[in-house]
A and B are shown apart, each in its own frame.
Chain A
């Protein structure tokens, strides 16, 4: 092959670049971006948490020997059991219960409403005993407030 030629057999061998070009590409001054140690530390801390958490290790070991057909069967069984034992309505109905002002969402105004009802002496619905301690009180208000501010994606944008 003469210098300057480029292998044109695209369906065969790889196009070859001249050695001078390859050398120049390899020597291209690349801007070095400084990585603050704090960033390294953050990543490695995340790794430490993820890899050494006890539940994850057990889960990982379980994953390691379970083959996917067994996995699929196990998932079906779990789903079936959940459906069989799940209370009618389940989570959805509890959240709906918390929507005291019936505006279609659970927010701080629902917690506020329950507090006002409790302070005024009104008897709130027993279904609002959210922590199942036998009474509807400020602890249940806190549960509603916690639901109101709950983040779906764990705080990530």
Chain B
């Protein structure tokens, strides 16, 4: 089970009471192997940032363009498990580092968010587990 920890630097705002929205892109790197299914847990681990999950959308490739499966109870909380699979032909499955989802966070304060990403499953088109590395990047606002 791959584990990633990290921080998102939230830009300070002029208004201490302001609410901010941040988008966090979730990647899975399956190296050379086509990624047919994944499941991972994302959580915000520092209460100080008051970051809450407010939205989840799909990724960049056709295989994962639809929003993943997730528990709606995760909305407005700090933890979510997302998962998706694709029955596309192998040639139409992504390899390498793929953005599989984007998680939208609402933060009430301008402090760094700390989070944990745990890859619980990654599989090829036959359902066989494959090694993969999860990672997360904050989407830059325009």
Contact = CB atoms under 8 A, between A and B. Distances in A.
Interface of A: 34, 36-39, 101, 107-109, 111-113, 115-116, 119, 142, 145-146, 148-151, 153-157
Interface stretch (B4-12, B75-83, B90-98, B132-140): B75-83
Nearest to A117: B127
A116 B79 contact: no
Contacts of A101: 127
A107 B83 contact: yes
Nearest to B38: A108
B80 A111 contact: no
Q: SS class of chain A's interface: helix, strand, loop or mixed?
A: helix
B17 A38 contact: yes
A112 B44 contact: no
Contact of B77 (A36, A109, A145, A156): A156
Interface string B96-122: 000000000000110000000000110
Contacts of A112: 36-37, 85, 123, 127
Contacts of A150: 71, 81
Interface of B: 16-17, 19, 36-39, 43-45, 53, 69-71, 73-85, 87, 108-109, 120-121, 123, 127, 129
Contacts of B80: 149, 151, 155
19 contacts: A34-B16, A34-B17, A107-B121, A108-B83, A108-B121, A113-B127, A116-B87, A142-B69, A145-B69, A146-B69, A146-B71, A148-B83, A149-B80, A150-B71, A151-B80, A155-B76, A155-B80, A156-B77, A156-B78
A39 B37 CA distance: 38
Nearest to A153: B79
A44 to B, nearest CB: 15
A101 B82 CA distance: 19
Chain B CB within 10 Å — which of A34, A109, A113 has the most?
A109
Nearest to A149: B81
A146 B74 CA distance: 13
B69 A37 contact: no
B39 A155 contact: no
B34 to A, nearest CB: 13
Name the residue in B44, B73, B108, B129 with the highest tally of chain A Cβ atoms < 10 Å from its Cβ. B73
Nearest to B108: A38
Contact of B74 (A107, A116, A151): A151
A113 to B, nearest CB: 5
Nearest to A141: B85
Nearest to B83: A108
Contacts of A145: 69, 83
B39 A107 contact: yes
B73 A108 contact: no
